[in-house]
Amino acid sequence: MRKSVIGMLFICLAVVSFNTSAALVSTNWKTVGDNLITRDTDSGLEWLDLTETTGLSYNDVSSKFSEGEQFAGWSYASITEVRELLNNAGGSGVYNGAWSAENNGVVIPLLDLWGHTLTYAEEV
């Protein structure tokens, strides 16, 4: 299966409107029960929980894609893969470039699967 790391996915999520939820399943990465991967059963792509890259820069993560490194076998998702995930998760395919409350219907459940990396207190 192809794998994708989602370092800054929240930016991509902010530009999509949703209507329903999708076939996303939590599964294990390193140990039984860790549930650190979300599998999109429609595309077969696996998405690493955001919490696994918290505090790491884009370069920090990409420097660990090599064999024997922390994120071996992973890569950054392309915009096409992100759109596919969001459409499979019930997105409408309407990418309007701005955040709206309508996005919460799927964004919040996705964040619940991937893990929240920013709290309101950290934003202000």
Report yes or no: 22 and 89 within 8 Å, Cβ to Cβ.
yes
How many separate domains does the chain show?
1
State phi, psi for 48 to the nearest 5 degrees: -75, 140
Is this model's pTM higher than 0.85 or not? no
pLDDT in tens, 83-109: 788 778 776 666 555 555 555 566 666
pLDDT in tens, 8-37: 343 344 333 333 344 888 899 999 999 999
Amino acid at 30: K
Q: What is the domain extent for residue 111? A: 3-123
DSSP-assigned states of every residue in 97-112 = SS--GGGHHHHHHHHH
Give the least confident one: 11-15, 39-43, 55-59: 11-15
Burial of 114 (0-12, 13-18, 19+ CB in 10 A): buried
Per-residue pLDDT band for 124 (boundaries 50, 70, 90) equals very low
